[in-house]
Structure formats: C-alpha cells, structure tokens
A and B are shown apart, each in its own frame.
Chain A
Amino acid sequence: MSPRAEQPVDWSGVQLHVVTGKGGTGKSTVAAALALALASTGKDVLLCEVEGRQGIARMFDVDPLPYEERRIARGLPDGDVSPGAVHALHIDAESALLEYLAMYYKLGRAGRALDRFGIIDFATTIAPGVRDVLLTGKVYEAARRNARHKGARRYDAIVLDAPPTGRITQFLNVNGELAGLAKVGPIKNQADTVMTLFRSPKTLVHLVTVLEEMPVQETADGIADLRDAKLPVGAVIVNLVRPRDLGHAALEAARSGDLDREQITADLQAAKLDVTHELVDALVAEARDHADRRALEDAQRLLVRDLDVPTAELPRLADGVDLGGLYELAALLEQQGLA
C-alpha cells in the first residue's frame, strides 16, 4: 500500500470535495470513487457533475441523470459502520437558471419571456461568467441545506466532479470572474456568498494527476493558482499508477539490459512453460519498457512530493473501471485517509 497512509490533517469536517484534474487523468473516476469512500464511512453523499457528459450515469450503469437528485449506490459496509447512500445530480446551467429565477424572483410570465427573447440561451452560453455562477450556485444550495428546508434532502458531504485543472480556479473563483462586470447587484451578491463557502475550511479542492511530465506540471500550476485565489487545496491523487511487480534491483537490471536470461529460462522451465528465445526476448523487452516507465514515474513522484500536499495513489486497473473497480478504488482512498 501507499507509504503515506496516514494523513497529517483531519478532513472529517469537510463538506464539499471538489475534484479536478487534467483531461485523461481519470478525474471523474476518482470523484466517483471518493463519493463511494465517503459513503463507506457512513456519510450520505451527493455526487455532482457539471459538464454535461453523463459520466456518472455510465460509471454507475444507471439511466442518464435528470436535473434531480437520484440515489445511485451505497457505500461498502465497513465493520460496525452502516454505509451511507450516494445520490447523484447532473447540473446544467439552463435548469439551474430557471430554478433560480423561480425560487428568488417568482418571475412567472417574465421568466417565460426571457426564454422567448433568447436570454436564457444568452445567460447560459454567452454571458461571461454567468454560467459558472449558476453551476456553482446550485452546488452551494445543496451544501447549505439545513433543518429549515423542509422536505429537502440533506447531505453529510458533497463531491463535485469539476472542470479540468486548467479551468478550475476560474470556475471556482466566481466573483473574480465577474469582477469589473457586476460590481454590485444580485448576481454579485450571489457570487460573494458562494465564495465564502469555497474559501472556508469546509471545502477542499483535490487534483488528480498521472505520473507524467505535463500533467504533473499542470497540477503544480493549478495548485499555485488555487493558492493565489485563496482556495483551499486538498490532496493530489495520483491515478493510473503502473503495477509494482519488479523490485528495485530487477528494474535496474531491466534498464541496463542485465537481466539474467539463464535464470529466467530456468524459471520458465520450472513453471512448466515451453521456453523459446523469442519468449525470453519478449519478456526482457517488456521489462525494459516497464522499467523506463517506472523511472519516469519515480522522477515525477518526487516532484509531486515537493508540492507539499497530502497525496494518495491509485493503480491502473488492467481491465478498465467498472462498478466493482470503483469500489476497489474507493477502498484504497479510504485506506489512505481521504475519507
């Protein structure tokens, strides 16, 4: 398991986990696994997506999600703790805007007229920053529900599958995005309230990366941006880590071409395989590729350590991530102290 199993901080009071990552690093998978991990500790969790991809529905093998909270899974039973439920919500800007208008302005006829004039379309696709205010506003609404909201479901934790690392600070820094545009007014007030939650200790932004140069560099840049915007950085979650089937000495030998071919031949015979030169060649060549990759990973891992934030690692699952795989990753996140 990970050498850094213990976390230096207690994250049990965190209410909103924002998960970001460069494209291709598996941020949606990690967000889903984190939601399951939190549920396994007995929490009721809401997993939100904001990018219109319906990735949650696919991962959990359920029908496409509407703009409505749906129960999709339960955490793993963990000793005496009875697991919580995971609900999912697909947030789209247009539904969020209509809900917002209905809730706060009771617009009625004017609300429908807005649509007719193409203003809903304008607000959700063209007006700068408004879209992000709407998406984050809905997350805020779910996080801030309390006993006063009759009938509304309350959650112990919310996991947000957020936009990628390159856009995350802009996305969360909603009032920064609106600055200069809306200096006063209701939209500005809304953005300010949302920011208060995002900057509080109740929020953490986790960054998913793989151990390659560009994603690690982007993670470092992302952390710097988040810190500049005073947004709380959580963990770096290293995903798709290659298997560790070879020890240090064997890796060295594989890289320098010094693997003991006679020993390998004898071992393969002992394992009752038909040994050919081609087989030994192929295994040695594969080992060299693997050793190169591991060397790259080790170098990048040092850079990740220098980022000075808690880290967790998840393996690459050779068969891809199905629901069983998600639970496996969830258990690993829990063991490493992320839930």
Chain B
Amino acid sequence: MIAVKDLKKVYHQANREIRALDGVTLEVPDDSVHGVIGQSGAGKSTLVRCLALLDRPTSGTVEINGVDLAHVRSSDLRRARRRLGVVFQHANLFDSRTIADNVAYPLELAGVERRERAAKVTELLGLVGLGDAAAAHPAQLSGGQRQRVGIARALATDPDVLLCDEPTSALDPRTTDEILDLIADIKARLGLAVLVITHEMHVVKRICDSVSLLEAGLVVESGPLAGVVGRLGGRLSEMLLQLPPAAPLPATLGATLEVLDTTQPGDTAALTAAERHFDADLPVLAGTVEHLDGTTFSRMRVLVPPSLDPAVVVSHLKGLGAESTISAPSIDEVA
C-alpha cells in the first residue's frame, strides 16, 4: 500500500514561488488501481517526480508499507526504491541493451547473481508476453511491446507498488487497451497497489478502482469510481459521463433536465418508470451510458413537456433513485 500525506512541492523561479503541489493526500491499498487524473499543468509531472523520488518534496510524506521514502537517507533510498516500480510514458528503455538486459538492469543494481537474474528475466518476459524477444533490442519492438518491457523491468525487484506515469499516452487505442489490461492483470496476480497518473478518462474507466482529480496542485475530488461517477454535478462525473453541448431550444417545448440514473442489471430505468407514472413522453436529447463494476450509470439530458412541472418530475425521479437537476433556462427565457 502507498500512502501520500500532505505532499507539497514549491519551486522558486526568479523570486516567484510556484506551488506545483499544494498538499496532495492519497492512499492506494494493495490489490487496487488508483487513478490520478488531471490536465497538463495540474501538477501531474511534479507528483510523479516526487513519488518516484526523482525530486525531493518540499514537505509531506510518501509511505510505502509504512516506510516514509521522502525522508530516508540517500543510501537507504536506493534500497527503498526497490519497493516501488515505475512505468514511464515512453518506456525509457536503454537502447544499448537487449530486452533481457533491460529487464535485468534493476536486478544488477540489487546485486542479484547472474544465473538467478536470467531466471527472473525469463519469468518476467513471460509474464508480459514477450518471452521470445529477449535477445532483441528496444528499437526492434513496437511501442506497445516496449511498454511491456518497461512493465517487466518495473516488476523486476518484486515491488509492492507500481507507479505508472501516463503509461499509454504514446500508444494507439488498441495497444492502449492491451497495456491497460496487462496492468490490471498483473495487479490482480501480484496484489500490487497501482497508482496511474494520466490525462485520459479512458484509462480511469478501464482499470481504476478509485480516482482523484488533480487541479492546480490539489486533489479537488476523490473516491471510489462508482462513488464519484454517481455524484450528479461532480467534476469527475461530468468528465466520465460526458454529454455533447446542449443545443438551444425554444421555451415553448418545455424545460430540460439533467438526469443521472444508477441501475443494477434487471432494474427498470428511472426514466421509463417516470414516463409510465406521468403517462407522458420524456424524450432523451443526449445521453451517455457507462458500465462500471456491474453498475450502469446513465447520464441524460431529458426534455420535460410544458404539461408537466419539471420540479415534480425531479422529485419523482429522486424517489426512483435517479438524481436530476433542471438545466439553465433556454435562451428564449433569458431574452
């Protein structure tokens, strides 16, 4: 498990103070994947550098299984680092070494004997599905294969925590899914705590159990995936269940509602139940559906005909277990 507490990083640049991280707190239990999502400039890179101990944080702690890495002496730091595997965006393999020697590098540093090293490398390359590429050089592999090698290398010292920095941002969509599935598979097999830093919602949807939104050096929203997605109006919910922009409608057509319905398989959709109850059509203008952890999340923009009071519809939907809000009035009313 990795626990980050009140992590701060302040840079000084020409008499200006830049608070790249302003007190980040995170916790990733074993056998789970936590995503940190943020736009560029949010502090993602700084967070990765501090967690990978490439930069010393200004204050705060980074604990792996109770050992604070941010404050150990440099000599102990190198040993402590073996508890943490890092996967980089561009894999950062060493071109001068073969695939096998790339994976063996952390083992060389740890002083593992040659024979033992070879056995471990074979095992790791098998784990990532590249058993036959041992003698190749990185340049001979595709981007996805290189990232697999990067993952194998990160796992070489049997770490407890895997830190993935934009692991799929340089890959095409299909390879992205292959790599994400590999990370999820490895997490399940080895019981690792995995922290994925990314700007792609897709990554969060596909493999994360929980997620944090990083903005201006702060975690502004955090929680289990189902929890944050089910919160209508929440930033992460908006990002994960994106709707196309609303087209302006004449007020005479009625009001529009934003509805977020959470259903289990077999449940009747709240909207369908409401249509029956009011004996009226509630046309869906736009909608996004995601299945996460066996739960279906449907976010819709719904038109409420003038014959119905939108407030009554909202409270009825609430009774059916769906959150909803009345959207901003259409342009006709503003005018």
Chains A and B form a bound pair: no
A residues in contact (CB < 8 Å) with B: none
B residues in contact (CB < 8 Å) with A: none
